[in-house]
Amino acid sequence: MDVDELLGWYERVRRPLPWRATRDPYALLVSEVMLQQTQALRVVPYYERWLSELPDARSLADAPTRLVLSLWSGLGYNRRALSLQRAAVHVSEHGWPSDLTDLPGVGPYTAAAVASFAWDVQVAAVDTNVRRVLTRRDGRARSPRELAAAAQALVPPGQAATFNQAMMELGATVCRPRNPSCPACPVSRGCGRVIESPAKRVGAVRFEDTDRYLRGRVIAALLDGSALPDSAERVLEGLQRDGLIELDPDGRPKLP
């Protein structure tokens, strides 16, 4: 892969996403957690509203659960918000750990992304987009460890942050899961382009019929005081187990 071509392309086409304009590790952690399984453009208003209300780790650590969940509501996977708050408590009490995976809810990818963007640590951040780019170029499947090593070998000295952003941008906007735009790819030369057609989904369940959707509606109802949706009972146990709700003495759900 011609990394210089990749970086030049990125500088020309990069989207002006707000988290790309900061080096604040707290703001970057917020963005990375929000971006898990959520498209970037959808995250932008949530990210900006969150930082307006909770601008630093201390304010998040001290925030009531209702506020945290209300700011998160609509992004899905509400337990991510509670993990982020637990991470903020750790940072407020102990500072940023040398190994960011010590923070609740922070895995190797998120740790690498925050470390490179905030502190210029020379580490490749390999998310789903980056794995797809590397796998397609090789035309073969590789283990996560092999992919991480391959990405690390490409990181230019002193440019880990830009390289990571460029690889993510490439995967998100050009080397897409479906209908990749190979003619627009700045590093198409030598690419294997082994792209398997996605299997047809037989009897796919509508998102509105999933427990994930129902969990979100239950939290939203508790936030605005409206009636719980039909079939709410089937997700209450899981929500309680995840710390997202409590039951009052009469067995009615409430926010912590």
CA distance linking residue 16 with residue 111, whole number of Å: 22
Q: 123 near 155, Cβ under 8 Å?
A: yes
75, 43 in Cβ contact below 8 A? Answer: yes
Element (H, E) at 66: helix 65-72
Known catalytic residue: 53? Answer: no
**Cβ pair 119, 30 in contact under 8 A:** no
Asked if residue 234 lies in contact with residue 251, where contact means CB atoms within 8 angstroms, the answer is no
Please report which residue ranges of 155-210 form alpha helices under DSSP H. Answer: 160-173
122 DSSP 8-state letter: -
Rounded (10°) CA dihedral 135, 120, 13, 30: 90
The one catalytic residue in 5, 11, 32, 146 is: 32
Active site positions, annotated: 32
